[in-house]
Amino acid sequence: MLRQVCATLCLVWASVVVHAQDTTMPILFTNVHVFDGVNEERIENANVLVVGNLIAQVSTEPLAAANARIIDGGGRTLMPGIIEAHNHLMLSVDSSSWFNTHDVFYIASAAAGEAEKYLMRGWTTVRDIGGPAEGLRRAIEDGRVIGPRIYNSGPVIGQTSGHGDFRNYNDPHPNMVEYKQPFYQHFSFIADGPAEVSRAVRESLRLGAVQIKVMAGGGVSSITDPLYTVQYSPEEFRAATEAAADYGTYVAVHAYNDTSIIRAIENGVKVIEHGTLMTEDAAKVMRKNDIVLSPSCQVLQLPEEAVAFLSPSSREKFFEAKEGLDNQMRLIKEYDLKTAFGTDLFGTPENFASTPKEFTCREQYFSPFEVLRQATSVNGELLAMTGKRNPYPEGPLGVIEEGAYADILLVEGNPLEGTAILVDYENSIDLIMKDGVIYKNTL
């Protein structure tokens, strides 16, 4: 559907006019150096043929296709679209009290705006790790809104007084009286005990979740759970992971401390979000079980004024988490943990706009190649863990290879020599393609 809309519409973005595209016409990129998302060496002087929404051929030999539109890359780098592993598009307003104080349609409208900006920064997929993003995903798929692919988690699932419990002090419990916000809007479910947890997971799946997000320990933005708290019993975790597995997918947990991380993994959880306060003990368990760790860097390096809106207790938790960052990055390297690339930068337009700075932050710890691999092929593997729920099962994401989805950037310069050029996306990313459709082209 989107392809038809793009064939009839001209999109305008930052004075760049994207011309109507006949999507039945193959596109041949010539004269490009390919970073394939996996290997450190670029494929020099290559040609890449896109047919429909997939990559048909990658070769250093001349390629030909009947009726192909030829785009001369002029020696630019051709790389996979960037993938965001951790954000919350629907938390698109100031995050101190997002669901209680705003009209839900305002939130959705703001989220649609942020979705378009995401794509136009070169980020072609967002793993939305909590919040009611299913409607936005559908609107993008239907071509009514411009944005990235979305892997939607639906409502986060947490226990009473846990990190999914965003009630103010005097707000009653949603399961004890008739009080529905924010639970009615599907930002969060409160579930205690295995039966309630199973039900919450199944309800999230019913609402369109492709992976499940569970809160396994204290978090910064909620008010009643210090970071040391462990949330959910082994039985509750098993209820969640079994209900998810029955639908062919996996559970990711929000967790900072070792006990939360280890207990979650021992009971079937496959992905750890944050993990900032982890020690060697958790690193060993992650390594042994081939767990994906999805940390965020830049959000913990925000200037003090950017977190001024947080309550005093949340601010304290923010600085506690920040303290753990260096140690976590050291452990990732020491144990060679499979590490995703996600930002967790949501709320204000300024926060969303700072998502590219995740590259800058990670380059303090990793080589440009390591960071780029996280943001492309490793994230692609993470998305594929949705198994039977995978909304994009035709090919891999995050790689440039035959059969992969045609999510492609043309970048001036070589990001393997420094990812700063991806932070300067307006000037350095000259072409953005998602699903075979060109959204930006300054060539």
- Which residues sit at the interface with Zn ion, rule CB under 5 A? 344
**β pairing state of 27-34 and 251-255:** unpaired
Considering the complex, state which of residue 344 and residue 407 has its C-beta at the smaller distance from Zn ion: 344
To Zn ion, the closest distance from the beta carbon of 346 in angstroms equals 7
Q: Is 87 exposed, middle or buried (0-12, 13-18, 19+ CB in 10 A)?
A: buried
Considering the complex, state which of residue 165 and residue 344 has its C-beta at the smaller distance from Zn ion: 344
Q: Is 25 exposed, middle or buried (0-12, 13-18, 19+ CB in 10 A)?
A: middle
End-to-end CA distance of the chain: 26
Adjacent-strand bridge partners of 54: 51, 405
Where do runs of H (alpha helix) occur along 207-339? Answer: 234-246, 258-266, 280-288, 312-334
DSSP state of 309: T
Considering the complex, state which of residue 115 and residue 400 has its C-beta at the smaller distance from Zn ion: 115
State the Cα–Cα distance between residues 50 and 210, nearest whole angstrom: 27
Considering the complex, state which of residue 55 and residue 190 has its C-beta at the smaller distance from Zn ion: 190
Q: Is 260 exposed, middle or buried (0-12, 13-18, 19+ CB in 10 A)?
A: buried
To Zn ion, the closest distance from the beta carbon of 325 in angstroms equals 15
Considering the complex, state which of residue 54 and residue 223 has its C-beta at the smaller distance from Zn ion: 223
Considering the complex, state which of residue 183 and residue 187 has its C-beta at the smaller distance from Zn ion: 187
Token pair recorded at residue 82: 């960037």
To Zn ion, the closest distance from the beta carbon of 1 in angstroms equals 30
State the Cα–Cα distance between residues 253 and 215, nearest whole angstrom: 6
- The one-letter amino acid at 218: G
To Zn ion, the closest distance from the beta carbon of 299 in angstroms equals 9
State the Cα–Cα distance between residues 144 and 116, nearest whole angstrom: 11
- Residue number closest to Zn ion, CB atom: 344
To Zn ion, the closest distance from the beta carbon of 216 in angstroms equals 13
**Beta strand residue intervals within 322-407, DSSP E:** 338-339
To Zn ion, the closest distance from the beta carbon of 429 in angstroms equals 26
To Zn ion, the closest distance from the beta carbon of 133 in angstroms equals 12
Considering the complex, state which of residue 344 and residue 435 has its C-beta at the smaller distance from Zn ion: 344
